[in-house]
Amino acid sequence: MDTLLIGGALPASRLALGCMRIDTLDMRQLARLVHAALDAGITYFDHADIYGAGRCELLFGQLLREEPSLRHQMLLQSKCGIRDGYYDFSKEHIIRAAEGSLRRLGVDTLDALLLHRPDALMEPDEVAEAFNHLEREGKVRVFGVSNQNPGQMTLLQSAVQQRLAINQLQLSVAHAGMIDAGLRVNMEGPLSADHDGGVLDYCRLHDVVIQPWSPFQYGFFDGVFLGDRKFTRLNRVLDNLAETYDVTAGAVALAWLLRHPARMQPILGSTSPERVTQLCAAADITLSRREWYEIYLAPGKKLP
């Protein structure tokens, strides 16, 4: 699988495995999933302190203790800042949360730590102090954010010494507002509305890796578009291309994200080893420009 360099420090696989649902697995199933991902070329594993209320990291840490050699084959990312009913980017919480993830995972260093969604009460200087402490102690290598717009990132970067190398954003062919607005500049209509502040171009300009989450969802957890009758034309296009490339429709939907020149790193959320293997075929597909636009238009959009 092709790789990309995150933050000038992390040579990462183009696809990552999200670990939000691994608390539904037993240890044997988790081992099968992780090995299948590694065998398919995935080296990047995405966690968060809130996933399974910490149980997901605990289970993953148990696997690493049972198979210590796995740690040297992967990069580990976690996220912090979401608490019960509020967000918390205070210095104390960031440090405490990062150390909690390290403890649960049973490792000395997180390869990446992201601030999980924006905190309206964020003090950039406090975040900077937390990042400096974690970097100085060798506990985090690279830092980033999730669901932040360019203004929020610029504000944070004004105080933080480390480059914000990652922005995790919801993006799929059926949830593509950041692409829609860019194609309809200076126009009227709902698809011209810029809800993201030009975050796609900002990340490209500043070498920030976009990690699309929920790459098969439409809306905010409204459901998966694959096989959904509301997206008949999209599924027909995906199925036809899947036959052309001898892969699954899901792999084609991922290839659509990978084809974008921003060089994104989609997060897969599957807990099925077989499905992960099938989806990783996306990394071997390069859609033509015509195919990319055919998929983009298939949910019912029109070019201006």
Of 75-79, 220-224, 231-235, 253-257, the poorest mean pLDDT is in: 220-224
Domain with residue 103: its CATH number is 3.20.20.100
Q: How many CB atoms lie within 10 A of CB 106?
A: 16
For 35-61, the pLDDT digits (tens) are: 999 999 999 999 999 999 999 999 999
For 130-176, the pLDDT digits (tens) are: 999 999 999 999 999 999 999 999 999 999 999 999 999 999 999 99
Look at the chain and count its residues.
304
Query: 304 in a domain, yes or no?
Result: no
pLDDT more than 90, % of the chain: 99
pTM above 0.85, yes or no: yes
Task: Compute the distance between CA of residue 14 and CA of residue 164 in angstroms, rounded to an integer.
Answer: 19
Q: What are phi and psi of 62, to 5 degrees?
A: -65, -40
For 274-295, the pLDDT digits (tens) are: 999 999 999 999 999 999 999 9
Query: 263 in a domain, yes or no?
Result: yes
Position 280 scores a pLDDT of 98
Which tokens in the block code for residue 298? 């298939």
- As for how many domains the chain has, the answer is 1
Query: 303 in a domain, yes or no?
Result: no
Identify the band that residue 237 occupies on the pLDDT scale cut at 50, 70 and 90.
Answer: very high
* Among 51, 202, 218, 296, the one annotated catalytic: 51
- Which residues span the domain enclosing 53? 3-297
Specify the residue for token string 């240890």. Answer: 27
The yes-or-no answer on residue 44 being catalytic is no
Query: 302 in a domain, yes or no?
Result: no
Query: 286 in a domain, yes or no?
Result: yes
Q: What three-state secondary structure class fits 128?
A: helix
